[in-house]
Amino acid sequence: MSKIDYSQKIPNNVDLFDDRRLQRALENWQPAYLDWWNELGPVESHDYEVFLRTAIDVSAKGWAHFDMVRMPDYRWGIFLADKEEDRKVNFGAHKGEAAWQEVPGEYRAELRRLIVTQGDTEPASVEQQRALGRTCPSLYDLRSLFQVNVEEGRHLWAMVYLLHAYFGRDGREEAEEMLQRHSGDVDKPRILEAFNIPTTDWLSFFCFTYFQDRDGKFQLSALAESGFDPLSRTCNFMLTEEAHHMFVGETGVGRVVQRSAELVKEHDTMDVAQYGGIPLVLIQKWMNFHFSVCLDLFGQEKSTNAANFYNMGLKGRFQEMKIDDDHQLDNDVYKVPEINGSGIIRTDTFALTAINERLRDDYRDDCQRGVDRWNKTLTGAGIDFTLTLPHQAFHRNIGTFADINVDLEGNIISPEEWDVNVGNWLPNDEDRAFVESLMVPVTEPGKLAGWIAAPARGIQGKDPDFEYIKFH
């Protein structure tokens, strides 16, 4: 089952050939997808040959094959992780029942909404990142960008397959709308706010793949617990691709930190901008922005929707089966933040309604791990500067903190104080203009922009200076 059939028009490991109706429906969607890719995918990239990995198998080991590929010829397809025999619904009101192979009729609308919301983010990120190829700091990095882009395209395929296979006509309509909404479009924007902001520089790209793609990891992990088995299997395979995106983010930011640290030492000043580096304070501002925007993606602190999704067995918690409780949560509590007079406190609420908050907490812990590694680079260089994640209430647009102003440490401040300080906390126009001024393309094999350190190693055993892209 795990082998992927590449002899088909749409590569797949779901025996698409045996379901002619579904096959035809997806083959009808395929040209629309390719039109979208050619129009809103990476700019000017259609003739480039790129050293890309393609999935050939969905087993944990050795699923990828690497080759020089023109991106429009990339074999986007439908790959589900292998079926787990006798899998059960592991949480909520249906706990212990056999996992569903078809959509439970009473949960159809909720399930569709979850799949559409996830699916919408995938092409959105491709649209957000489409112009970055013009300013790549190296061929190695350009390859990383394109690898992420083609796989986000494949993630759209993953969600569209579920819509086509399990939701009939309204699923097909949703699949079409995935290609009609566009990131930043005034009339038809992408569903979630963080996916409507263009990614215009490479520090933003690395922060995006570190923070936004990690949100993806947590959403997919929660959906991988789903009692709806096809969704679970789809998400499990997407997670293996997601790991590389986060690697690109963590090592990308890490290499910027490393290069800045080198310049600080070399010139004995924190003001490395004059030497073509990105000052650590700017890296901190970029982190503040991306982290806070991503916290919003987890939704309200107290959410009846999230409680319902959990109770219905549609969306679980992060690593549900490793949590030691009854997986129904009828009598459990969880601490959520609340505004109490002039401060923020955490109080017990029903664990069921706090599902979002718990996922956000897990996400924050995971984010902190990479930040610790970046800080080790700074300590190792003897630099007295610590990168930190801002307080969870900082710069929020959704939930408890949407209407208040909070500083990086979580102190509630007045709108006037916010206005005076926001330019010190978040990228201001001058910061963005400076970082953009550093974004000049470097496309000679082995060469590198001056604001980023070389990668520790290349891709798939190749040297870092391998010609990862051939321009034609």
Pairing assessment for the beta strands 343-350 and 64-70 based on DSSP bridges: unpaired
Pairing assessment for the beta strands 405-406 and 64-70 based on DSSP bridges: unpaired
DSSP state of 228: B
In the complex, the smallest distance separating the C-beta of residue 32 from Fe ion, rounded to whole angstroms, is 19
Given the rule CB under 5 A, which of 48-56, 146-154, 362-370, 396-404 is the region that contacts Fe ion? 146-154
Nearer to Fe ion, 215 or 229 (CB): 215
Place of tokens 């439970």: 104
Alpha-carbon Rg for the chain in angstroms = 23
Phi-psi region of 329 (alpha: psi -120 to 50; beta: other; left: phi over 0): left
Query: Can you tell me which of 94, 143, 154, 155 binds Fe ion, judged by CB under 5 A?
Result: 155
Q: Is 302 in the site for Fe ion (CB under 5 A)?
A: no
Given the rule CB under 5 A, which of 111-119, 209-217, 322-330, 395-403 is the region that contacts Fe ion? 209-217
In the complex, the smallest distance separating the C-beta of residue 178 from Fe ion, rounded to whole angstroms, is 13
Nearer to Fe ion, 129 or 260 (CB): 129
In the complex, the smallest distance separating the C-beta of residue 298 from Fe ion, rounded to whole angstroms, is 16
Residue 457 makes CB contacts below 8 A (sequence gap 6+) with 464
> What distance in Å separates the CA atoms of residue 290 and residue 365, rounded to the nearest whole number?
15
Nearer to Fe ion, 158 or 406 (CB): 158
Beta bridge partner(s), residue 69: 50
Can you tell me whether residue 284 is helix, strand or coil? helix
Where do the DSSP E strands lie in 296-429?
333-340, 343-350, 405-406, 412-413
Residue window 222-251: x/- pattern of binding to Fe ion, with contact defined by CB under 5 A: --------------------x--x------
Query: Can you tell me which of 127, 174, 213, 250 binds Fe ion, judged by CB under 5 A?
Result: 213
Nearer to Fe ion, 120 or 213 (CB): 213
In the complex, the smallest distance separating the C-beta of residue 354 from Fe ion, rounded to whole angstroms, is 26
The token pair that represents 160 in the structure block: 């569209």
Residue window 96-135: x/- pattern of binding to Fe ion, with contact defined by CB under 5 A: --------------------------x-------------
In the complex, the smallest distance separating the C-beta of residue 205 from Fe ion, rounded to whole angstroms, is 12
Closest CA to 67 of 15, 143, 7, 12: 143
Nearer to Fe ion, 98 or 243 (CB): 243
Nearer to Fe ion, 122 or 296 (CB): 122
Q: Which residues of 267-292 are buried (b: 16+ CB within 10 A; e: fewer)?
A: eeeeebbeeebbbbebbbbbbbbbbb
- Please give the residue ranges that form the binding site for Fe ion (CB under 5 A): 122, 152, 155, 213, 216, 242, 245
